[in-house]
Structure 1
């Protein structure tokens, strides 16, 4: 399962848009309306994409809370998804993020482009190894041993998974 992570500075709407962009791209859909239609039709591509996406409860609530704004998302033709950090206004720009807020009169914010969410990196815990024995000094009269084959990687078991 691919858990998604957004940039640390994204909160609320910015985080929802970041997640939405990635969901659209993974489901190979252009707009949120197309995604919801494909979901209701059980489109095989969308079903397959959602089988590997691992959205947590907070992310699902965030997406649900921002449905009207997610309806504005568009992947192609290329749109730049922009949010003003000062007033929180979300817009689509045809090229780059504007240098000043164009929506709220008197707003001094500088809108920033919202990046798509990425796969979260789960920390891999190394198994505790027994204390290594001190290496003995090489004997000058013995031949060096041939290189050993690399050890096979041990499978990582996620203890948080529910096993039914």
Structure 2
């Protein structure tokens, strides 16, 4: 309800000029698109898998993400040079299609150099939704490189992740 009231005030203010900046002002406001508030039903929430170039399903890269408001929390996994790498990730949604990964931890790899037991590594990397796929990279020209497809997440995996104390802390805005 509160979001609806704020949206109405902003909409009316935009039409009437109420709250407009004086001429010549350099300030600009960016109003992000509405971001869902449940942890399991939102744009970025779900299991995302990229299997290009793998020889077995166990080698697919994946994200398991949950979203509450603009807060995205989850796990990542990739397989490289015959080894499995996994960890946790925190991101901030900017809109319903763009987010920035802000914190990461896990087995040291090209993703992170901080074990989760030691805390979080601060990062600034993209997460984007393009044509129904998830991207964690952006091409040099800024265009989306989405290679993660949505796949069903097993109920047991979803429930176990949502019950983890670090996940509860993360989704509540703590834990970084």
Structure number with higher helix proportion? 1
Higher relative contact order at CA 8 Å, sep ≥6: structure 1 or structure 2? 1
On whether the aligned pair clears a TM of 0.5, the verdict is no
Which structure has the bigger radius of gyration?
A: 1
> Could you tell me the TM-score, scaled by structure 1's length?
0.23
